Each structure stands twice: as C-alpha cells, then as structure tokens.
Structure 1
Amino acid sequence: MRKSKELAFSYGFLLPSLSLTLILGIYPIAWAMRYMFYDYKGFGKKTFIGLDNFARVMRDGEFWHSVANTFAYAGGKLALSIPLALLLAVVLNRGLRGRHILRAVFFLPTIVSTAVMAVVFFAIFNAYNGVLNQFLLKYKLIGGAVDWLGADHAMLTVVLVSVWGAVGNYMLLFLAGLQNIPADVYESASLDGANKLQQFRYVTIPMLGPVMQMIVMLAIINALKGYESIMVLTDGGPIGKTNVMFLYVYKLFFPTAGTGAASQIQEMGYGSAVSFVTAIIVGLITALYYFGSKRMNRYA
C-alpha cells in the first residue's frame, strides 16, 4: 500500500512535464506525420496523394541546396566554437583575477534571446550605417563599405553570430570537465618531465574525452537545427546563400514575403514531408557521430 502511494506521488510530480511533452512534443509530431501523405495547404480540402510529397522532396533542388547550406553552416560553427570554448575554459580555469566575472560575461550570450541578439548584430553588420563598417571606415581599415550580409560574406557572418551565441555554453561544460580532473595527474606528469603543452596534449585532452563527446554531439544537433538568427539577419538570402533546412521548413508552414519558392505558398502537407526528411538527416548525422565516437573510445 505504501509503495503504491509513493508511486502515485512520483507520477503526480511527473504529470505536468509529461502533459507538456505530450501536448507540445508528441502531438505536433503525430499531426505532421498524418499530413505527410496529403496535399494540404492549411485550409480547405485535403487530398490523399500517398508518397507524392516524398517524391517531390527528392527532386526539390531548393531543399537540397538548403541541406548543403546547413552542412556548411554547421561545419563552420563547430570548427570555430568548440576550439574557442576549450581555449576559454582552459584560460579561465586558472587562478586569474576576475575569472568569475569573465565566465559570466562569456556565458551571458547563451541566455540572451536569439531574436534580440540577431537584431543587435543586424545593426552591427548593416552595410549602409552599420557599426562595424563605420568603425572600419573611421580608422581607414577598409576602402569602402562592406556588405557583410551580402552574397559574398553572408554565410561567414551568420556563422560568427552563431559562434558568439554558443561558445559560452560549451565553455561552461568544458570548465566542469576540467575541474573534475585530479591535480595529482598533472603533478605526476610534471614529475615525469612533461611541459604545459605536453600535459594539455596527453593529460587534459584524453581526460576530457567523455565531456568532449557530449559537447560535440550537442553542438552538432544545435548547429543542424539552428535557423532563428539566420531568419532575422538574412531570411535565408541573399539568393538562398544562407537558407538552411529548418528555415526552409519554417517557410513552408509560415510563408513570408521573402524570396524563394518556400516562402510564397503555405503547404502543410509538403512541409510535413520535408520536416520528416529533415529530422531523418539530423538523426542520421547524430547517430553516425555517436557510434563513431564510441568506437574510437573503444580503441583509444
């Protein structure tokens, strides 16, 4: 009887979160999976068309271009944010004066709204009256205004903005991992003649392995799913240069006045099929990394 009461009490605590997961997580997925097989514009009649939506996905050049953009965006973000976060964690793990304030400063972008952050960076990178161009022109570091959100620089710009927003979170996780490494290990390495660089290479990196594996997985998922700052900064433009998978899906469900076929017509049915394919791509990339990293750990 007592065990039953404890079980009921435990489920009572879980009920609010389970309800939210059901309403906001499972139900929308089930809803989207239902409409994958229909020609449905979000209003009026829906027509069952079987696998036609998936056949359309396979020949949708704009979608596959967004997949390529996503890989470029994710690759750039990972290549910059992970090493930078590790470097900051190593530096701030030392006994520097004011290190706690610096940790808070670097972590602050993580808790700032992505939309607000993107609006601020739009004002910085604006080609005509942006803060960055005004600064560079004032000190004659550039000959003329640079269109940071134009076709030539847009991808690099959105990657840099995403790195600024993500590096603090990964830095904090690296810090937690560094603080769990016993000092005795470094003392032993020092007695064996290892310098600071060798200690970092042969002690710090291997002992951060499990933490590194988790951080990289989180970074891959977040990079592949990211689109909010891109939507504010470039809306996927110019000429689709920064249009990523989830932004393409968003425009199918919520069409805007932007450019590109996905932004003109609301297509719930086709959007559901695209979102399903997108989820499979993200899942496959994550699974490949997960099993690959586990195998590397096994033979390390």
Structure 2
Amino acid sequence: MNDPATETFLGYRNLLFTVAYEMLGSAADAEDVLQETWLRWVKADLAQVHDRRAYLIRITTRQSLNRLRSMKSRKEAYVGPWLPEPLLTAPDVAEDAELAESVSMALMLVLETLSPTERAVFVLREAFDVGYDEIAAAVGKSPAAVRQIAYRARRHVDARRPRETVSSGEAWAVLESFQRALEAGDLQGLLDVLAPEVVLLSDGGGVKQASPRPVISAGKVARFIVGGIGKAGIALTGDLTVVNGSPALVLRLDGEIDGVVAIRVEDARITGLYYVRNPQKLTHINSETSLTLR
C-alpha cells in the first residue's frame, strides 16, 4: 500500500471510530460516519493539509454532529430506554483507565443528556485533548465560545458521573457476586450486591421485552430480575467479559445470546445496571472492537 491518503486514513481509523462512537453511542452510526469521512478525505489536497490527524478529526466531528442531530427524532420515537450500543473490547482498553472511563456505559449515558455541540466539545476536549482552536474549527464556533461550552459541559457531566472510580479488581468481584446470584435466582444474593438506590435500565428497542421505564431501588430491581427468570422458565447463564472497557456479562437463555449487562459500581455495590437486549445493538459483541484515544 503506497497511497498516502489511504495509509493515513487507515493509520487513524481506530481513533476516528472512537471519536465518532463517543459522540454517537452507536457503532453502526460511527461506521457510517467513517465512510462519510473517507469520501471527504480522498477529495482533500494533502499538500494543503498541515496536520492530517487534526484534519481527519475535524471531518469526523462535523459528520458526527450532522448524524447526532438526525438521530434525535429516532431516539424520541424509540420504545423504552435508549442505551448505547455495547462493544466487546480488548483487555488493553480495560487497562487504560482514561479510555475505559470515556467509553463506559455510565459516562456514555451522561453524554446523552448534553446537546450535540456540548457533547462534541466535551468529547474532543476531555477525552482526546484537542485544542480549543481546533475544536472551534470543527464545531463552527469561536474559541471563546468553545471554552464556555466546555466549562458548562464539564460541570454538567461532573455532577452526574460516578462519585468514585473503583479498581478493576473490585468491579470484577462485584460482578461475579451478581453473576452467581443471577444464575441461581437468589433474591437475597441480589439484594446483597445491589445498592439501595440502584437503577436498572433495559433496552429492548420494541423488539425484545424490556421495562418501558427505569426500575429503581434494590428491592424492585431484585424482584424484577428474579421474576423475569421465573417467567422465562429456561436456563439463564452469564459469561464474564469486557464491554466498553469495563466488566460485563453476556447473558444467554438456553445457550442463545439474550443481551449484555454492564454495571456501574460505587462503594462495592452496583448502582447502575444497563441491560441491552435489542438484537440490532448486539452485533459488536462477538469480536473485539479496537478503540484508542491517540
């Protein structure tokens, strides 16, 4: 391969996918953004491009913003809670604390509460350390305006993100306890591992059965889980895995994949359960997705 445009694009492909995914929460839409970025990149005069990485991120950001705005109506019409598309990630993602947090299900959900421009500015600045001038060029705002947007978005996210960062070992221990209780249908075991204020969000997309509203409190979540297992009347198992850089479970009913459960852990208990059942969002859990901030 000796085409400079192709070599450059492929060299930054994983980075660009990560940028688009963090902005969109959808791997399918991120792939579409990369295709649009490529079509614009091959038309660029490389002799006039002084910083190829920055130029590619700028194109990706603009295309992501366009798609974010078009996704708004899709999400408003979505049946039940909308959760980000889970990605099976390599162990090195989990070992990179900064990357793992930036793509965690908990943070991705917080990003859903930002406006498209706020989300783009926050992602570029906080995750990818892009300069204010370059962000301004990407989102069509002045550097001064971008600084204000970044400050506002950071305050918004900080008020809603997990209060503490737990170690990988602690998260695995909590998840394993949850797995055992889940597979056994052990109500007390679930109550022991769930925080009193735990929130369960389940995403069936109108295709698979899921709660249309958040389920809140340890008692209600535990009964919801045990009751669901009892109604199904079939064997439920959970395979430990790494999704979005964090410990997670791939749930199987009689051996068939039913969904992915990601967790949020604080004070050695689960405060957030994110259960993705929508089949259209389970296409990236059979093979690892490469993510990077650099």
- Please confirm whether the aligned pair reaches a TM-score higher than 0.5, indicating the same fold: no
RCO higher in structure (CA 8 A, sep ≥6): 1
TM-score (norm 1): 0.22
Which has more radius of gyration?
Answer: 1
Higher helix fraction: Structure 1 or Structure 2? 1
